[in-house]
Structure 1
Amino acid sequence: MKHWFTSTELTSIKGLPSTERGINKLAEREGWESQKRAFGKGYEYHISNLSIDARKALETQAIEQLLPTVTTSNVVVTANDTGLTHRQREATDARTTIVRTIESMNAQGITKEAAMTTLLSQAAMGALEGSSPVLDKALRMAKDPRGRGDSAYPSARTLKRWLSPNTKTLAPKGKRELVIPDWAITFMACYQLPEKPTVEHAYRTFAKQWPNNTPSIHSVRRLLKKVGNVSRERGRMGPREIKNLMPFIRRTFEDLVPADIYTADGHTFDAEVSHPRHGRPFRPEITTFIDIATRRAVGYSVDLAESGIAVLDALIDSCTQAVPAMLYVDNGSGYCNALLKDESLGVLARLGTDIRHSLPYNSQARGVIERVHQTLWIDGAKSIAGYIGKDMDRQAAQLQHKLSRKALKESGKTHLLGWDNFIEFCEDRMDFYNNKPHSSLPKITDSAGKRRTMTPNESWISHESNGWIAHLLTQDQATDVFRPRMTRKVLRGEIRLLNNRYFSRDLEEFHGDSVQIAFDFRDAQFIWVYDQDGRLICKAEWNANNAHYMPMSYVMQAREKRADARIKRVEVKIDEIEAERRGYGSIDQNTPTFIPGIGNVHDIQTRLKAKQPADIIEVEVNGPRMPEQMTPDERLQTYQAYERGTDVPEEHQRWVTTYPRSKEYKSLTQRYAEF
């Protein structure tokens, strides 16, 4: 449709003057945009000068010039029916065009039969494609592809059906509505299982449960194609996994400023490094804090395992940038503890920071911090020796594991990253991440004229330039806030904390009272004592009324406890391996038991009843037989004979050193002692 019109062309538009002079005066009065005509005298006026109604009238006029005017029509146009597919809408519009064309020709005195015959014959000869390509295309699109015949155009009989007064809609028929068969529920119960059986496997199970009129497997496959993608996977996928297929809500952060919300999470590093104490390979735990508004990594901590101490370390580090108003984390033990959350003694309460937890098993809600692990730590781990991530080749990961242990065993040295170098590596990764353009941040034009997204550091600085000021703690405030607090009772000037005793004479008048105590979890030498209103009473010293012995700090006790538990687990494994190698079972109550120096228990009981003295049974060592071939009683006799000085054969040397640590030896000796 053209955009420039002469005053003559505008005189026929309703709402405008009906004369050329009137149009020209209106244009002059309202200052219409105009240009000189390319041919002839006078001016042309742009369509943008006209009102909305005038523009619509011009559009109607242009359409009427392109297609015949429709005088009568019994057709119900359904092109805008939302229940139709795109193909159905196109076919409906095309059929409507054809019907209106035939009715227009009929209104000019031509019969509908003649109009249809002429239209189809011209289309078949190709004449319509040159004279009226719109009608030719409409005829092609109007034909149902499922119809019979090789012609690209509909038949005369089809056109008559479209023109019939009984026709309610010109839309082609769509797919038949899904009719759920009576066997569908039984099959879906066999298919929707967490084991995720194949269609064939589920069909075999279903056929046994539905022996009469069993549908074919092809019917089953057609049913599955018609079931919704999410509904089909229910039961095969649990509530957590199926969330990846369901709609979700994208959270926006345009209205946030830095330190409004921090989010944090722990990540087990995907590469092995040298342990800071014994030097053996291990995977450290990294806790990272991210600012939501700027995506800036504001703090981190590295520890041997996930704990409340690791989280507190990372929180302290992040508060050097700004104290957060809210902390959004998961429900892990590192965040759900009194050290952080206690309403009166917790660190967050003293900071004035609110803490919110995401729903259990809903990591999608914290997608920001989950994605950071990939960019910040996983990609970084791939650049150092010792990477053993899940996407690494399994054989290469096993070789890496063996080489690190072999080198440590043979030379005491390893190619893995040392602890100090690892901390330096973490600092470099934090700088790399904060200076890397982030896809979720606004775009800017940098100094080189390149259009790109902002980096987290640039986003932070832009907020500062707009007047935002970070809330920071002074050194004294930070020292007071980040000391963990607990409630303890004073007894004769002493306070017990973590099996340590602290004393101060200033506590004399507080005997029997409950007080708040703050401590440094890395230095157990002193604690700070406050009354219930938070006023400082004194600084108590470890064993100030008793010297000797070094104090054990909170961290050292945690290490000792963890080491003891690991030793116990190793001992259980050793005993289990020994039991598996020896192949002996447990000793039940009915097993005849031999007591060294006394005899068989059952024989002794018989002699006691007969009041006969028990004979002394001498032990003989069966030299040729190996201990594995002996009974439990014989093994114990043999070992006790060796203890009394009997020569030990060479083949029994190793067994003699390991047998006292076995469960069999401990069980038999305990049973004999009880007897």
Structure 2
Amino acid sequence: MRNWYTAQELAGKPGMPGTERGIRKLAERNGWEGQRRLGSKAIEYAFAVLPSETQAALIAASVGSEAPPAVSIQQELIQRDAKTASRLNDKQRSVMTARLAFVREIERMSQTISQQRAILALVDLAKNDKLSPYLSELLVRANDRKTNDRSLSERTLKRWLADYRKQGETGLAPARGGKDMGVPDWAKDFLRCFQRPTKPSVEASYAEFAAKCQGERPSIHQVRRFLNKLSPEAREAGRRTPQELKALQPFRRRATKNLFPCDVFTADGHKFDAEVLNPRTGKPYRPETTTVIDVATRRILGISIGEAESTIGVMDALRDAITRGGMFAIFYVDNGSGFANSAVREVVDRLGGTMTHALPYNSQARGLIERVHQTIWVNAAKKLTSYIGADMDKHAGTKVHRVSRKQLRETGATRLLPTFAEFMAGVEFEIEAYNDRPHRGLEKIRDPETGKLRHMSPNEAWEAARAEGWEPMLAPAELVHDLMRPQVIRPTRRGEVAWANQRYFLDALRDLHGEEIRVAYDVRDASRVWVRTLEGELLGEALLDGNSSDYMPKPLIEQAYEKREQGQMKRAMDKLETLTGKRVEMIAATSAPSAQLSGEQLAAARQFAIDLAPTTIDFQLPGDSVARYRLWKELEAKTQTGSELTAGEARWHAHYPSRQEWQSMKDLFDADPSQQARA
């Protein structure tokens, strides 16, 4: 709308002549107020002196002639009341923007004519369907009605103007109709039937609730609508444990960009989801893997394989991590029995690190190591036919179990289950592949071969840290082994000290009779312990039964195996007693193979054994299995170089590989590179 119009602009309008000359003559006759337009010779006439018919035509032509850009409206909305407008949904914001366009149109027209006249002009144009296409489209949204009547009224436009001037743009938004979040009276009784750890269905819970309901009973559809209004966390309360509920709750991501390698080690045990042949017994079992990972680079540094999560496995994995990576600052673990014990904590303290335990039922805090279980060990188990995970086909798994047991009974071997050596080879392959594979938790780099951006691998992240000047703090191997030996405080009596049901002797202890000392032990070798004073001064190595002449020591690992076997036999006997209802006892065999021989055959066998026995013993066998295997390796090296062996050495060297102990030690040394190097 303008206040002045030229004769050219007025020609042909309602109430006006069709030519400019006729308009000028009409103006002269009626004495219209006029002025010369700036920069032109044309005469323009005031809007107020024009006939009412002409004024209405000019008003109708100006309404919605130029649609204000939506961007400007949105910018003004954000600038004036951004906080309040941000709470509106899309429908409220759309209606508000449409109504704002009509308010702006009234304000623009009011610069030339009165507000009342502008409102009446818009109402008249809307009724006659003469609004511009832009305003006609906004009219449908501005009314926000479900009826077919989408016209404007004087009262509606005045109400919009009043709301806008009082509350701003947000005053034009319609009230939001939210959900009825009221809790019905029957909700408590129904949720008591529904929110149980057994996770009953809605139908089952409703049937139980209906049988107990005394008052007016809602329909199952009302129950379903009520449950849909609840948040997942509120709905699943009682159906899930607090630990499982955390899968539905918000969480905090822990950034590791500011960490350096070896700042934080995290570890956890995982029961392998496939069966492997036990190297010690030859029977199927599920190994327990203990993995140590560097948090900053996601690199796997330590690994230990055992039969169950234990202190021995944790310390072995930590020793492996320190040997490969270096000393750590923080050891972040859970509260499992293998980690939360004085032996591991003492070793961590001696290494100068800090041991931190995660909160109970908070496995999400250790998501890095938990994800490693899925990425490496679960995927590795799925590559084997002996996989027994939850998603294994039931019939296929039963068939593998039946056939493998049958083959083991008949032949003593099976190809359906991997041997321990094959399993360890697979473990090393999976770890190397994981450390060389791009990890999405690490920063991106430009691939030197393809030129594309990709995430770094753990090994690349490790080397990148070294390139920036970081270097691992390495320790000599002997020092690492010494630090990894757990220590306990024990009293000494007459040069002896007792530990793990064994007695160790050291002559230097004679002066400390009745006093307490510190005893350090090796989890792999029980033939000796290292004795220190309470102040830490090393006194020497106390030998197992050092003051005795005839005893065969057993390493701590073998003692753990025997203890585990005894527990398994006891549980098996309890199960048999439960099934049969009768007392079950273990009775030693009363007959040996030799009992089936005749007297002549037995005499011949004894003579054959006498002939095989050496006349003299020209060397002394070690007292533990590890030392015996090392002796055999030394004799094997001599035979390879052509050196001669004594009769006793040659006889024992040829006979020892036929024993089960040789095979077990061979698998153990082949699986542990550090032991193989020492051998």
Normalising to structure 2: TM-score of the pair?
0.69
Q: For residue 507 of structure 1, what is the amino acid of its counterpart?
A: L
Tell me which moved more, 188-197 or 396-405: 188-197
Q: Does 1:121 align with 2:120?
A: no
Match of 2:395?
395
Query: Which is bigger in relative contact order (C-alpha 8 A, separation at least 6)?
Result: 2
Query: SS at the partner of 2:378?
Result: helix
For residue 94 of structure 1, the aligned residue among 85, 93, 98 is 98
Match of 2:288?
285
Counting only pairs closer than 5 Å after superposition, residues 311-330 of structure 1 correspond to structure 2 as 311-320=314-323, 321-330=325-334
Q: For residue 462 of structure 1, what is the amino acid of its counterpart?
A: A
Judged with a 3 Å threshold, the aligned counterparts in structure 2 of structure 1 residues 305 and 186 are, in CA distance, closer, same or farther, namely: closer
Q: For residue 425 of structure 1, what is the amino acid of its counterpart?
A: G
Q: What do the CA deviations read for 1:494-525 (whole angstroms, capped 9, x no partner)?
A: 11122222212211111111111112222222
Judged with a 3 Å threshold, the aligned counterparts in structure 2 of structure 1 residues 128 and 316 are, in CA distance, closer, same or farther, namely: same
Judged with a 3 Å threshold, the aligned counterparts in structure 2 of structure 1 residues 136 and 166 are, in CA distance, closer, same or farther, namely: closer
Match of 1:385?
385
CA distance in 1, matches of 2:385, 2:270: 18
Match of 2:648?
none
| Displacement of 1:578 | 3.4
| Displacement of 1:468 | 0.7
2:268/2:291 contact within 8 Å kept: yes
CA distance in 2, matches of 1:154, 1:409: 90
CA distance in 2, matches of 1:426, 1:546: 42
CA distance in 1, matches of 2:343, 2:280: 26
Greater fraction helix = 2
CA distance in 1, matches of 2:81, 2:533: 80
| Displacement of 1:574 | 2.9
For residue 535 of structure 2, the aligned residue among 533, 536, 542 is 533
2:160/2:172 contact within 8 Å kept: no
Q: Does 1:421 align with 2:425?
A: no
Match of 1:367?
367
CA distance in 2, matches of 1:139, 1:272: 72
Q: For residue 206 of structure 2, what is the amino acid of its counterpart?
A: Y
1:106/1:115 contact within 8 Å kept: no
2:242/2:361 contact within 8 Å kept: no
1:187/1:206 contact within 8 Å kept: yes
| Displacement of 1:431 | 0.4
For residue 222 of structure 2, the aligned residue among 219, 224, 229 is 219
Q: For residue 254 of structure 1, what is the amino acid of its counterpart?
A: K
| Displacement of 1:210 | 4.3
For residue 578 of structure 1, the aligned residue among 570, 573, 580 is 580
| Displacement of 1:193 | 2.8
2:120/2:154 contact within 8 Å kept: no
Match of 1:547?
549
Q: Does 1:488 align with 2:487?
A: no
1:266/1:285 contact within 8 Å kept: yes
Consecutive unaligned residues in structure 2, runs of 5 or more: 1-63, 74-79, 585-679
CA distance in 1, matches of 2:280, 2:515: 41
Query: SS at the partner of 1:249?
Result: coil
1:78/1:92 contact within 8 Å kept: no
Match of 2:587?
none
- Identity among equivalent positions (%) equals 41
Q: Does 1:507 align with 2:514?
A: no
RMSD: 2.8
Query: SS at the partner of 1:464?
Result: helix
Q: For residue 511 of structure 2, what is the amino acid of its counterpart?
A: E
Judged with a 3 Å threshold, the aligned counterparts in structure 2 of structure 1 residues 214 and 390 are, in CA distance, closer, same or farther, namely: closer
CA distance in 2, matches of 1:165, 1:519: 87
| Displacement of 1:559 | 1.4
For residue 333 of structure 1, the aligned residue among 328, 334, 337 is 337
2:298/2:458 contact within 8 Å kept: yes
For residue 258 of structure 1, the aligned residue among 257, 261, 274 is 261
| Displacement of 1:414 | 0.6
Match of 2:406?
406
Consecutive unaligned residues in structure 1, runs of 5 or more: 1-62, 71-76, 583-675
1:443/1:452 contact within 8 Å kept: yes
Query: SS at the partner of 1:428?
Result: helix
CA distance in 1, matches of 2:426, 2:274: 12
Counting only pairs closer than 5 Å after superposition, residues 100-115 of structure 1 correspond to structure 2 as 100-109=104-113, 110-115=117-122
CA distance in 2, matches of 1:319, 1:108: 86
Match of 2:249?
246
Query: SS at the partner of 1:99?
Result: helix
CA distance in 1, matches of 2:444, 2:524: 44
Query: SS at the partner of 1:421?
Result: helix
Q: What do the CA deviations read for 1:352-386 (whole angstroms, capped 9, x no partner)?
A: 11111111121111000000111111112222332
CA distance in 1, matches of 2:153, 2:243: 58
Judged with a 3 Å threshold, the aligned counterparts in structure 2 of structure 1 residues 65 and 246 are, in CA distance, closer, same or farther, namely: same
Query: SS at the partner of 2:485?
Result: coil
| Displacement of 1:314 | 0.3
Judged with a 3 Å threshold, the aligned counterparts in structure 2 of structure 1 residues 191 and 460 are, in CA distance, closer, same or farther, namely: same
Q: For residue 394 of structure 1, what is the amino acid of its counterpart?
A: K
2:545/2:551 contact within 8 Å kept: no
Match of 1:23?
none
1:106/1:112 contact within 8 Å kept: no
CA distance in 1, matches of 2:402, 2:136: 75
| Displacement of 1:161 | 6.4
Judged with a 3 Å threshold, the aligned counterparts in structure 2 of structure 1 residues 568 and 111 are, in CA distance, closer, same or farther, namely: closer
Match of 1:635?
none
Q: For residue 492 of structure 1, what is the amino acid of its counterpart?
A: R
CA distance in 2, matches of 1:112, 1:293: 68
Query: SS at the partner of 1:88?
Result: helix
Query: SS at the partner of 2:224?
Result: helix
CA distance in 2, matches of 1:305, 1:581: 30
1:195/1:236 contact within 8 Å kept: yes
Q: What do the CA deviations read for 1:609-662 (whole angstroms, capped 9, x no partner)?
A: xxxxxxxxxxxxxxxxxxxxxxxxxxxxxxxxxxxxxxxxxxxxxxxxxxxxxx
Match of 1:19?
none
1:494/1:503 contact within 8 Å kept: yes
CA distance in 2, matches of 1:366, 1:458: 23
Judged with a 3 Å threshold, the aligned counterparts in structure 2 of structure 1 residues 202 and 544 are, in CA distance, closer, same or farther, namely: closer
Judged with a 3 Å threshold, the aligned counterparts in structure 2 of structure 1 residues 305 and 98 are, in CA distance, closer, same or farther, namely: same
| Displacement of 1:534 | 0.5
2:256/2:295 contact within 8 Å kept: yes
CA distance in 1, matches of 2:499, 2:227: 64
Query: SS at the partner of 1:340?
Result: helix
Judged with a 3 Å threshold, the aligned counterparts in structure 2 of structure 1 residues 546 and 64 are, in CA distance, closer, same or farther, namely: farther
Q: Does 1:469 align with 2:471?
A: yes
Match of 2:444?
443
Judged with a 3 Å threshold, the aligned counterparts in structure 2 of structure 1 residues 408 and 175 are, in CA distance, closer, same or farther, namely: same
Query: SS at the partner of 1:328?
Result: strand
| Displacement of 1:401 | 1.0
Match of 2:146?
147
| Displacement of 1:417 | 1.1
